[in-house]
Amino acid sequence: MSRPPVPEPLPHPVVDNHCHLDIARGDEPAVPVGEALARAAGVGVPRIVQIGCDLPGARWAVEAAATYDALVAGVALHPNEAPRLPSLDDAMAEIEALAAAHDKVRAVGETGLDFFRTGEEGRAVQEESFRRHIDLAKRLDKTLVIHDRDSHEAVLRVLDSEGAPERWVMHCFSGDAEFARSCLSRGAYLSFAGTVTFKNAEPLRAALAVTPQDRVLVETDAPYLTPVPHRGRLNASYLVPLTVRAMAEVRGDDLGDLCAALDANTEAAFGGAW
């Protein structure tokens, strides 16, 4: 699967706050980290939050963040991963150890709920895992990164029950304006991916439009969710400018002002500069 061309650089640096540099897609292997970082920095994306969402991925994220100045890490058990585990207790113990292992592990995530890929039989374990990740984020003062697929109301129910941590992000926000307001009223940062450029995403663009400038983030979720006009091809952090320009148009923001806000918001959401 070929890589899309490099877009025009942004006028101010921004952070890709959710990426999977270790994940290959299709027949093409993951790009070497140094190459991926250089390509992103060349278009105004000099920093990335690397997310690990199973035990091997979490170990990789911690090691990568310790190795590369441009990276910080998030570690967790993805909601689709939790029901497959032989022992949630053992896996959570390792996630906690990894989360506490290095000051460049800034986040517990992605955790949450996914009612698209996991059926009724796995949802109790998913919810237990989510609750335990919320507790971990609060105890370690880490940012909570939430995966929410077809589970909007259940995510809010669990958050309200447990109490949200000080900093939390709705990764790849997928709701409408009403759901955006519900999340924002609880203190969320809303992170928008390439999906905001998709033709059928009018409710998502309405959500983006009502999000205050100090609560909006941008991400790739690479290698997935490649923005238009390259939807379906391999995504990477160097394509963030396509999403940011689309976001500025939807919001009516000056591009430079939006970039500066995205940069500052990501630092605030993930516990400061790196």
- For residue 217, is it within any domain? yes
Residues 6+ apart with CB under 8 A from 2: 233, 234
pLDDT band at 29 (very low <50, low <70, confident <90, very high): confident
Question: Percentage of the chain surpassing pLDDT 90?
Answer: 93
Q: DSSP per residue over the chain, as a string?
A: -PPPPP-PPPSS--EEEEE-TT--BTTBPPPPHHHHHHHHHTTT--EEEEEE-SHHHHHHHHHHHHH-TTEEEEE---TTTGGG-S-HHHHHHHHHHHHTS-TTEEEEEEEEEETTTS-HHHHHHHHHHHHHHHHHHHHHT-EEEEEEES-HHHHHHHHHHH---SSEEETT----HHHHHHHHTTT-EEEE-GGGGSTT-HHHHHHHHHS-GGGEEE---BTS-PPTTSTTS---GGGHHHHHHHHHHHHT--HHHHHHHHHHHHHHHTTS--
Residue 10: inside a domain? no
Q: Give the lowest-confidence range in 1-5, 16-20, 141-145.
A: 1-5
In a domain, 86, yes or no: yes
Within a domain: 274: no
Mean pLDDT of the chain: 97
> What is the total count of domains within the chain?
1
pLDDT of 1 over the 70 cut: no
> pLDDT of 206-240, one tens digit each?
999 999 999 999 999 999 999 999 999 999 999 99
Look at residue 161 and tell me whether its pLDDT is greater than 70.
Answer: yes
Q: Is residue 131 part of a domain?
A: yes
The answer to whether residue 9 is domain-embedded is: no
For a pLDDT cut of 70, what percent of the chain falls above it?
100
152 is annotated as contributing to ligand binding: no
How far is residue 43's CA from residue 201's CA, in Å, rounded to a whole number?
26
| pLDDT reported for residue 53 | 96
78 in a labelled binding site? no
By the 10 Å C-beta count (0-12 exposed, 13-18 middle, 19+ buried), 55 is classed as: middle
Cis peptide before 79 (omega within 30 of 0): no
Alpha-carbon distance 110 to 74, whole Å? 7
This prediction has a pTM of 0.97
Contact 250, 197 (CB under 8 A): no
Let me know if residue 162 belongs to a domain.
Answer: yes
Which pLDDT does position 88 carry in this prediction?
98
Tokens of 147: 């995966």
20 is in an annotated binding site: yes
CATH number of the domain within which 171 lies: 3.20.20.140
**Is position 265 within any domain?**
yes
For residues 255 and 232, what is the distance between their CA atoms, to the nearest angstrom?
A: 26
Domain that residue 187 falls in: 15-269
| 164, amino acid identity | A
pLDDT tens-digit series, residues 52-100: 999 999 999 999 999 999 999 999 999 999 999 999 999 999 999 999 9
257 assigned binding-site residue:
no
Say if residue 110 carries a ligand binding annotation: yes
